[in-house]
Structure 1
Amino acid sequence: MTQVVCIGEGLFDSISDEPGVELSQVSTWTLYPGGAPANVACALTKLGTTSGFVGAIGQDAMGAELLEVLRSHSVDLSGVQLIPGTPTRSVMVTRDKMGDRTFAGFGSDRPSDSFADTKLNAEYLPMDLIQSAQYLVTGTLLLAYPESAAALTNAMDLARYSGVQVVIDVNWRSVFWDDEQRAKSVILEVLHQADYLKLTDEEADWLFGSRDLNSLHNSFPRLKCIL
């Protein structure tokens, strides 16, 4: 049995090799496989917890490399949807001289909704995998796009119906969204599905205008833990 199912984006982070240099001036980048849910799935297997990854990945060289990384960590890939003709996303990440990151775009003129991770289809979700898990772990980036938002919502509904605990990492990344106020509204609504919530102080300020944990818990009484 797969103990934890991670659903969300699988992509590459293209990280600047030149801290403190502006995006337009960076000359070299290094690609790292990522996407928070994919990273969590790999980390869990390293700790001895069985995991699966559910997400949409391009049927391209980058997608194949990402799948190989997940496979090498013994992550269950039965929930992966391969999307032909739509590229796996690469996120440009710049760093200041202190190492703090800025997510600066996608390295092409393609609109944000034209990458494979946005195409996760609810019709092809691995229902048995989700229903038999102990935890469903996700972020909020899939909520930025209609098709993947519908798939994620269906997966969380299925988890709730089946008694699977839902873990949500806010993981706010403005570059994925076209409207910050819409993002806030959508994310706040979906947090009512969470049994466990992970967020930073800055994300708490942005979403709630407060870092008070008691206030957050009162707003979302279903929560068992806030990290």
Structure 2
Amino acid sequence: MTQPLPALLCFGEVLTDMIIQPDGRWLSRPGGAPWNVARILAGWGLPAAFAGAISRDCFGEALLAASAEAGLDLRYIQPVDASPLLAMVYSTQPPQYFFVGDHSADLHFDAANLPPGWPQAARWALFGGISLARPPLAGHLLAQARQLKAAGVRLAYDPNFRVAMDARYDAMLRQMVALADVVKVSDEDLAGLFRHHDQAAALATLQQWNPQALILYTCGAAGAQLWAGTQRLQLAPPPVAVVDTVGAGDASMAGLLASLWQAPQAALAQHLAAAVASGSAACGVAGAAVPLRSAVDALCQRLLPQVAVMA
């Protein structure tokens, strides 16, 4: 029996994080923001896939194995004969990194090679990460987003700011915001993308570009806001024994998408509580792990009465 095609798709990059250790050794870990979101959704039992290309070598094999372990639909991952994409994290306090990936595998993703009928099965598609700052892949993904939007698929966009997103990224930012049904940004994203620290002005600009978009604005320990037209909600995070904050933003995005997918008619407060609960739960586990769905649901119920309307 043929496995049904997934409804929740995450497009972009999956890569290998090479993280320097105190003794000078390098530790490799699978990473990439869109892949992390897909992995969390699949780990919660939702019909999710990551769509992207990987190398045919030891790095690609590890990424494919991690994807299979996460329950992702491997028909959407394309092994190609090209070098791997690596993120060299040469400092963790504070985080400092650079990417190694000239002409690497991720750039060779081709939507034409996805399973037949995949656009008809799609209901939500996430775009973001460094993939949208890496030509020619960036242009291909923008075109794909436009086609899916025209077909009635709902779009989510998480820019996930990185240093490669300089002034050359401005046009992509504006075009993706205009297309998206959901935009997720952090305070750090806004400072990097707009190159100033007037967060309110940056958020107002996003809303001006797309007044209909739902905007999730995360502020770390200060919690999060959800903007929907003239409605603005805010929620502080619960007390959590923080192990680390790696992957918290991706978990927030996954929590919001899962809520919108499973309870599309729910109140905005429910969606915001789900996003904050997911990000908070991710802080209680080491690395970019999948937070337990039971822990997320319990946190969400605790947080829901605390959602406040912004003045």
TM-score, length-scaled by structure 2: 0.61
Deviation of the 1:59 alpha carbon: 1.3
Paired residue for 1:226, among 188, 211, 216? 216
Query: Is 1:15–2:19 an aligned residue pair?
Result: yes
User: Where in structure 2 are there 5+ consecutive unaligned residues?
Assistant: 218-311
Amino acid in structure 1 at the alignment position of 2:107? T
- In 1, the alpha carbon distance for the partners of 2:67 and 2:12 equals 14
Residue pairs, 1:200-219, within 5 angstroms: 200-208=186-194, 209=196, 210-212=198-200, 213-219=203-209
- Structure-2 residue corresponding to 1:109: none
- Structure-1 residue corresponding to 2:183: 197
Per-residue CA shift, 1:105-161, capped at 9, x if unaligned?
33xxxxx43211111124334563233222101214222233312321232122202
- In 1, the alpha carbon distance for the partners of 2:188 and 2:116 equals 34
* 1:171 counterpart SS class: coil
Deviation of the 1:215 alpha carbon: 4.4
Deviation of the 1:169 alpha carbon: 0.9
Deviation of the 1:225 alpha carbon: 2.9
Residue pairs, 1:44-83, within 5 angstroms: 44-83=41-80
Amino acid in structure 1 at the alignment position of 2:96? T
- Structure-1 residue corresponding to 2:99: 105
* 2:76 counterpart SS class: strand
Does the 8 Å contact 1:141/1:173 carry over to 2? yes
Higher relative contact order (CA 8 A, sep 6+): 1
Deviation of the 1:96 alpha carbon: 4.5
Paired residue for 1:38, among 30, 35, 38? 35
- In 2, the alpha carbon distance for the partners of 1:147 and 1:214 equals 30
* 1:66 counterpart SS class: helix
Larger radius of gyration: 2
- Structure-1 residue corresponding to 2:88: 92
Using the TM superposition, name which of 68-77 and 129-138 deviates more: 129-138
- In 2, the alpha carbon distance for the partners of 1:36 and 1:139 equals 8
- In 1, the alpha carbon distance for the partners of 2:76 and 2:24 equals 37
Per-residue CA shift, 1:147-183, capped at 9, x if unaligned?
31232123212220222111111111224x6xx2112
Does the 8 Å contact 1:7/1:54 carry over to 2? yes
Does the 8 Å contact 1:169/1:197 carry over to 2? yes
Query: Is 1:143–2:132 an aligned residue pair?
Result: yes
Deviation of the 1:4 alpha carbon: 0.9
Residue pairs, 1:154-169, within 5 angstroms: 154-169=143-158
The CA RMSD over aligned residues, in Å, is 2.1
Does the 8 Å contact 2:161/2:192 carry over to 1? no
How many pairs does the alignment contain? Answer: 209
* 1:113 counterpart SS class: coil
Amino acid in structure 2 at the alignment position of 1:12? T
TM-score, length-scaled by structure 1: 0.82
Deviation of the 1:218 alpha carbon: 2.3
